Amino acid sequence: MAVRLAGVLTIVAGPVFADYDPSQYPAYETCALCHGLFGVSHTGKFPNLGGQKQAYIEAQIRAFRDGHRTNDGGQMVTIVTELHPEDIPFVAEWFASQDAPEPYASDETASGEAQFSELGCVTCHTNSSDGDPLVPYLTAQKPDYLAKQMIDFRDGARDPRTLPGMHKDLLAISDNEITALANYLAAEARP
Ligand code: HEC
Ligand code: HEC
């Protein structure tokens, strides 16, 4: 009896969070800290997920989970191992159905735009809603995040299993050229 009473008192007197039960909250709330509840993140370290293609979001979650994508500094891997498998399509749908982020202003986009077309990126990354569902939108994405991904591709830290070596070969360009590409893409609106 004394033990039960002590337990009750702890709950009553404890902080409000004593009532927090993660199973009562939708799984996408665990993503909000880094990616924003509506998929617009606060820093370029975390990609915007709002309005991204659902199949792509799902594929990346699975890639982190299965150890095929490891360029996240360990943060995503930790989170996705805690995500119930049945919640994966649900969180992907939540973020995909949010509004796309606003594009980011940039002083100079012409050189990045020219390069995007010269390197042939545009053949896959079409910026249209009827493009390949597994090819992500790059437009209105955080420029720092985009630049990091391109450097990771170039330097071998990220290499999609479906396209081994392809981005690495295409992105054999300088950091400055990568920054120009990122600034151009981030400044373009999503369809
Ligand atoms: C502690 C911070 C953190 C949390 C919480 C987090 N993520 Fe991430 N996420 C990251 C980081 C960091 C990256 C980018 C890593 C990189 O540089 O490649 C990332 C990348 C992603 C990507 C890849 C996006 C792209 O464009 O390729 C997806 C999808 C994603 N996260 C989904 C989620 C989902 C869904 C959740 C919640 C279940 C979640 N994340 C929770 C930190 C986090
Ligand atoms: C043959 C089709 C194809 C071409 C050409 C291509 N990409 Fe990609 N790109 C993809 C696919 C598919 C992915 C998703 C990779 C994955 O599953 O991890 C991707 C991913 C990316 C990402 C990561 C986006 C994110 O949200 O994490 C960036 C950045 C990118 N590509 C930039 C480029 C640039 C710049 C070029 C031109 C130099 C290019 N791509 C050429 C198919 C292509």
- Please answer whether residues 186 and 104 qualify as being in contact, where contact means their C-beta atoms are separated by less than 8 angstroms: yes
- pLDDT per position as a tens digit, 53-92: 999 999 999 999 999 999 999 999 999 999 999 999 999 9
- pLDDT per position as a tens digit, 106-139: 999 999 999 999 999 999 999 999 999 999 999 9
Alpha-carbon distance of 44 to 60, in angstroms, equals: 18
What's the average model confidence in pLDDT over 20-29? 78
**For residue 25, what pLDDT is reported?**
83
Token readout for 88 is 């994966």
How large is the greatest C-alpha to C-alpha distance in the chain, in angstroms?
77
Q: Is the pLDDT assigned to residue 16 strictly greater than 90?
A: no
Query: For the chain, how many residues are written?
Result: 191
122 lines ligand 2 (CB under 6 A): no
Distance (Å) of CA 46 to CA 75, 92, 120: 10, 16, 26
76 lines ligand 1 (CB under 6 A): yes
Q: Is the pLDDT assigned to residue 22 strictly greater than 70?
A: no
Burial of 25 (0-12, 13-18, 19+ CB in 10 A): exposed
Ligand with an atom nearest the CA of residue 153: 2
Q: Give residue for tokens 């991204």.
A: 52
Q: Is the pLDDT assigned to residue 15 strictly greater than 50?
A: no
114 lines ligand 1 (CB under 6 A): no
Token readout for 49 is 């997920």
Q: Is the pLDDT assigned to residue 1 strictly greater than 80?
A: no
Closest atom of ligand 2 to 158 CA is: 18
What's the average model confidence in pLDDT over 150-154? 98
**For residue 7, what pLDDT is reported?**
41
